Structure 1
Amino acid sequence: MTDAELLRAAHEYENALRDNDLAALDTWFADGLATVRAEGGTALVGHGEISDYRARRGGAPVRHLRRVHVREPAPGHAVTVSETERVDGGSGLQTQVWERRGEGWRIIAAHVSGAPAAPVPTVAPGPDRATWRERGPDGGALVRGSGHGELAGVRVAVKDLVDLTGHRVGAGVPAHLERAVPATRTAPALRALLDAGADVTGIAQTDEFAFSLMGTNAHYGTPANVAAPGRTTGGSTSGPAAAVAVGAADLGIGTDTAGSLRVPGSFCGLYAWRPTHGAVDVEGVLPLAPSFDTVGLLAAEPAVLLRAGRILLGVPGTVERPRALLRSATLSGLAEPATAVAVDAALTALAVQTGLPLLDVVDLPGGEFGTEEVQAWTAAFRTVQAAEAWAAHGRFVEENPGAVSPAVEARFRTGAGTDPVDVDLARETLRRSASRLAALLAHGWLTLPSTAGPAPLLDASPAQWEAARASTLPLTSLASGAGVPVLGLPWGRVGELPVGLSVLAPAGADAGLLDLLTRVAPEGRRHRATEERPGQSAT
């Protein structure tokens, strides 16, 4: 367990660096000639040299922590390796050696390096069958919004489940598209974005009837994932995720029933928001399992997600703030070991930036989650989801043999003969899990990996695909079954592959959850330059 005093010290240091508080920075670096700071081939030796350098340079560039790795090689000593994101699009790396002294933790050595912004992937203006079902001419707007408001100029990719006046919903299934009629009214959630100034750049693909988490579609293909080339986007909001990741759209609007926003957010390195169940209007959106269906968002830029989320919520209530961040060894252990380590580094960065205590669930009333408990809520979720999915689309599956792929059809048919008694028992299990989670969230907001691992390879076997889906569902179904909001932060890295950190808040605390972005993300849009530029490091 990371030393709480060390995290508080790191938080205060970050505040001092942000504010260019020279007196505080002098305090955090240990006094004496033994203290050293190195950067760009030059070492500053002694507290005096470091202090003089800070006074001359006039403040560090604004940047935010994305991952903090903490190692404690000996009692009273710690090494922190912090990966940062700068507002100019560049990145930084900061290694510090801390020593616990009589006055508390102090930095005795630091090394800093930085890198310029990475080039932006080239976006082809033409149609992309795997990503888009319908797109504006030459990559322009398919439907114009009001042109003014909070989202003026924001380009939206719309999941192919959401009604848009004059356009059909295909749900990722050609046979369904053939039978569909153009919508006579735009779904209220999408209408709110258009009224706030956003434009629809296109209708983006979805997994078949949104009944998947992996992002594949047997009819249209798998969208390209620029964040993890050669790997899937995740789903079922696959098309919007691919479009936002490559920069062809700024915002994706889609659904999340069992993780359909959180999974592509994790695989594509995007911010994701699943709202409290019922907080955002789902009228005009093709259902899958109404007890769990929500309409939410994906974005590369946290400020865009924040503005759009506030618009979908309407007039926010009290902005609730958490008492602490909670970590569960059981839930972290559901992820692959490398993913669990990567997500823990993202969680440490979140704790350092916010200054919130980081508590382990095992130390709280009710204790750690049990393995049987996790298995119970996952099985119960699957039972109810399958029953409701069959109720929503079973008739179509029966009347259109071969219209959906065998794997998706098999998923639907698991709900065909479900005993209503079993469904009721499953709902009761979910109610118990929701009550247990609500009691836990009174102590702080729960964090866990968004997915069990990075995006699977495109050439993975069907068994590997199913294993990836099955291992992720226990992580995503907890919030889905309880109806609580989730914010996905795309900060974890396994090598170069993104993995997400999910933050679960109490039901109705969406405004506070979104407000978390103002505390941990750059203000305004990140600069995504195509040319390299030298940058000043921050430490």
Structure 2
Amino acid sequence: MASSSANLWVLLGLGLAGILIVTRRLKKAVKEDFGAFVERFQLLPPPQPAPPKAPHPLTGLTFAVSDVFDVEGFITGFGHLDWVQTHEIASRTSPVVSALVDSGATCVGKTVVDEMAYSISGENKYYGTPTNPAAPARIPGGSSCGAAVVVAASLADFSLGIDTDGGVRVPAGFCGVLGFRPSYGAASQIGIIPVSSSFDTVAWFAKDPSVLRRVGHVLLQLPFAVQRNPRNIIIADDCFQLLKIPGDHVAQTVIKSTEKLFGRQVLRHENLGEYLDSRLPSLKAFYQEKSNGEAKYCSLRSLANVMELVKRHEFKKNHEEWVSSAKPTLNPLIAAQILEKLEMSDKEIEECHTIRNKMRATLNSFLMDDGILVIPTVADPPPKLGGKEVLSSDYLRRAFSLLSLASVSGCCQVTIPLGFHDKCPVSVSLIARHGGDRFLLDTAQIMYASLQEQADLVAKSKISAKVVSQETSAEIAKEKGNQAFKEKQWLKAIGFYSEAIKLSNGNNATYFSNRAAAYLELGSFIQAQDDCTKAINLDKKNVKAYLRRGTAREMLGFYKEAIEDFKYALVLEPTNKRAATCADRLRKLFQ
């Protein structure tokens, strides 16, 4: 009986050990791929052509594709497990994926997208939210969240996503990588699950601007042309006012980089929204009608409104029947938006398309002669995982006001990382006219290194300025403490000295020594002794600290130590009468 019981405990122990080992392995596997992949596989490129023919243009590169692209032999999941269970295996591979493989790149798998690629958060309850390598406690952004994470984590050289209303630009900004949304219609959309056919654009991520450019040449089949530098770089000041971080940091980076590279000044456009107002009166009329005649009006917000209405209308048209059947398993917020009654007449749809065409013509005219428009990619830093911020109407309005510029106009846009602010990635976006894809890819490659260099310099100068500001504030607090000390307001003096110590990060001996003097006046001898010790550790030649610690130790009954302090003060200042008197008096009494 005892033997059976022992065997049972052994088996239980082995079972628990096995569970722990498997759990650790699973955690390690998730950590290694950051939860970015839906499926891992390999699509290998064809053999290299024999010399003297040139090798394939993407030879040696690896890439992943968002789970909205068809790959033969796999079900395209669309970010939802029920979609996988109700759809067939793809019979052929999307032409854009095939083009990359035929050009020498190896496809290494499919990556997570937002549920039905509908959101810009990157959170998916079915496959899990991929971990943002640049800010693990923050969301990666969506809809092509996994594709951005794969590149940010260096699990692939580049990746494909779909950008409808920011699906590549947002995660590029949040994960600190390059993202390119080409001109609308420039890349084939065959073999891709549609979200909104008026805005859907094949887009891609990379860390290296040369890789971003090489991929663009393959996907967009760009003809040879002489590389051109931008003639005008225009910063949209009102767009930067939407930023929740100091926008001047980003603007200064672009200004300094432009001056260094091209020897010319950046143009500042105070109100892009007002410019669009004057060129697009039909947009204002449409917005006011859809917002019940709301008086407050801004073209950027209006574009976001048009984008949202068209996206919802076209998504419903493509997927409403399936969404209705799968409603119980859908994210309630997504289901509500998709299934909510949306009355849009054929005339209103046509009006939206007219606005889109006018918007494209307006921006093309604005950016003629090789102009570049500079805007923030996103207004807010990436929200925390599980936070309610992504549901906030203010957050979404700020985001879509910026994202709608390229989505509605169909112009091309590149997102470029610019380091960090408060441990969150920061980026800037450059927009070129519709059809200016080669020019924009060239510009991104030309400016990338300079932008990184200037971003570092601006960050260091801001840190230096902050340090100088703190030092000044600390000195002001110390002077206030000195004044309070003169007025015999000891507690008030201690408060000011404490503030000075905090502002100096506890690195100033004088502030500790001064606070010790105030503590002595209050009879707080232990605190006075501790402050003097800190002051002496920072400055071995601080005579006042030795004198004050000697006094505190004398009052505490540590006479031998007090004599040593007074004697050391005399070594530093042989003519110091107070040190000589105190040391002599204590020697006569206790030695």
What is the CA–CA distance in structure 1 between the aligned matches of 2:390 and 2:170, rounded to whole Å?
19
1:462–1:454 Cα change, 3 Å: closer
What is the CA–CA distance in structure 2 between the aligned matches of 1:479 and 1:123, rounded to whole Å?
39
| 2:425 corresponds to 1:498 | yes
State the 1:125 CA deviation.
Answer: 8.0
SS of 2:329's equivalent in the other structure is: coil
Write the deviation string for residues 306-346 of structure 1: whole angstroms up to 9, x where unpaired.
111111111326455432111112211222242x2342133
Greater helix fraction, Structure 1 or Structure 2: 2
Write the deviation string for residues 440-499 of structure 1: whole angstroms up to 9, x where unpaired.
112621110000121110031266555433321110111110011111111153233112
Counterpart of 2:306 in structure 1 is 380
Counterpart of 1:439 in structure 2 is 365
State the 1:217 CA deviation.
Answer: 1.2
351-360 or 512-521, which deviates more: 351-360
Aligned partner (choices 373, 376, 386) of residue 449 of structure 1: 376
What is the CA–CA distance in structure 1 between the aligned matches of 2:330 and 2:112, rounded to whole Å?
15
Amino acid at match of 1:335: L
**Could you tell me whether the CA contact under 8 Å between 2:183 and 2:435 is conserved in 1?**
yes
Q: TM-score, normalised by structure 2?
A: 0.63
Amino acid at match of 2:354: E
Greater strand fraction, Structure 1 or Structure 2: 1
Write the deviation string for residues 100-125 of structure 1: whole angstroms up to 9, x where unpaired.
xxxxxxxxxxxxxxxxxxxxxx9958
Counterpart of 2:267 in structure 1 is 359
Mapping 1:136-215, distance limit 5 Å: 136=41, 142-146=42-46, 148=48, 149-215=56-122
Counterpart of 2:233 in structure 1 is 325
1:203–1:270 Cα change, 3 Å: same
What is the CA–CA distance in structure 1 between the aligned matches of 2:147 and 2:31, rounded to whole Å?
16
1:465–1:177 Cα change, 3 Å: farther
**Could you tell me whether the CA contact under 8 Å between 1:127 and 1:135 is conserved in 2?**
no
SS of 1:156's equivalent in the other structure is: strand
1:333–1:200 Cα change, 3 Å: same
State the 1:256 CA deviation.
Answer: 0.6
What is the CA–CA distance in structure 2 between the aligned matches of 1:302 and 1:449, rounded to whole Å?
19
1:390–1:342 Cα change, 3 Å: farther
What is the CA–CA distance in structure 2 between the aligned matches of 1:292 and 1:388, rounded to whole Å?
10
What is the CA–CA distance in structure 2 between the aligned matches of 1:368 and 1:421, rounded to whole Å?
23
1:457–1:131 Cα change, 3 Å: same
**Could you tell me whether the CA contact under 8 Å between 1:377 and 1:433 is conserved in 2?**
no
**Could you tell me whether the CA contact under 8 Å between 1:230 and 1:457 is conserved in 2?**
yes
What is the CA–CA distance in structure 2 between the aligned matches of 1:250 and 1:191, rounded to whole Å?
17
1:309–1:333 Cα change, 3 Å: same
Aligned partner (choices 268, 275, 288) of residue 175 of structure 2: 268
Aligned partner (choices 397, 402, 407) of residue 328 of structure 2: 402
Mapping 1:35-46, distance limit 5 Å: none
RCO (CA 8 Å, sep 6+): is it higher in 1 or 2? 1
What is the CA–CA distance in structure 2 between the aligned matches of 1:162 and 1:308, rounded to whole Å?
17
What is the CA–CA distance in structure 1 between the aligned matches of 2:120 and 2:390, rounded to whole Å?
14
Write the deviation string for residues 156-205 of structure 1: whole angstroms up to 9, x where unpaired.
11100001111110000111111222222211111111011111111001
1:364–1:248 Cα change, 3 Å: closer
What is the CA–CA distance in structure 1 between the aligned matches of 2:200 and 2:30, rounded to whole Å?
32
What is the CA–CA distance in structure 1 between the aligned matches of 2:352 and 2:334, rounded to whole Å?
22
Write the deviation string for residues 11-66 of structure 1: whole angstroms up to 9, x where unpaired.
xxxxxxxxxxxxxxxxxxxxxxxxxxxxxxxxxxxxxxxxxxxxxxxxxxxxxxxx
State the 1:435 CA deviation.
Answer: 2.8
Mapping 1:273-352, distance limit 5 Å: 273-316=180-223, 318=225, 321-338=229-246, 340-352=247-259
Counterpart of 1:216 in structure 2 is 123
1:315–1:425 Cα change, 3 Å: closer
State the 1:434 CA deviation.
Answer: 2.6
State the 1:296 CA deviation.
Answer: 1.2
Amino acid at match of 2:40: R
Aligned partner (choices 410, 418, 421) of residue 483 of structure 1: 410
Extract unaligned runs of 5+ from structure 2: 1-26, 49-55, 279-296, 451-591
SS of 2:328's equivalent in the other structure is: coil
State the 1:351 CA deviation.
Answer: 1.4
What is the CA–CA distance in structure 1 between the aligned matches of 2:342 and 2:271, rounded to whole Å?
43
SS of 1:272's equivalent in the other structure is: strand
SS of 1:145's equivalent in the other structure is: coil
**Could you tell me whether the CA contact under 8 Å between 1:492 and 1:501 is conserved in 2?**
no
Extract unaligned runs of 5+ from structure 1: 1-121, 137-141, 524-539
1:158–1:364 Cα change, 3 Å: closer
142-151 or 451-460, which deviates more: 142-151
What is the CA–CA distance in structure 2 between the aligned matches of 1:366 and 1:426, rounded to whole Å?
20
Counterpart of 2:496 in structure 1 is none
Length, aligned pairs only: 397
What is the CA–CA distance in structure 1 between the aligned matches of 2:148 and 2:254, rounded to whole Å?
23
What is the CA–CA distance in structure 2 between the aligned matches of 1:353 and 1:508, rounded to whole Å?
27
**Could you tell me whether the CA contact under 8 Å between 1:158 and 1:253 is conserved in 2?**
yes
What is the CA–CA distance in structure 1 between the aligned matches of 2:193 and 2:341, rounded to whole Å?
18
State the 1:366 CA deviation.
Answer: 8.0
502-511 or 412-421, which deviates more: 412-421
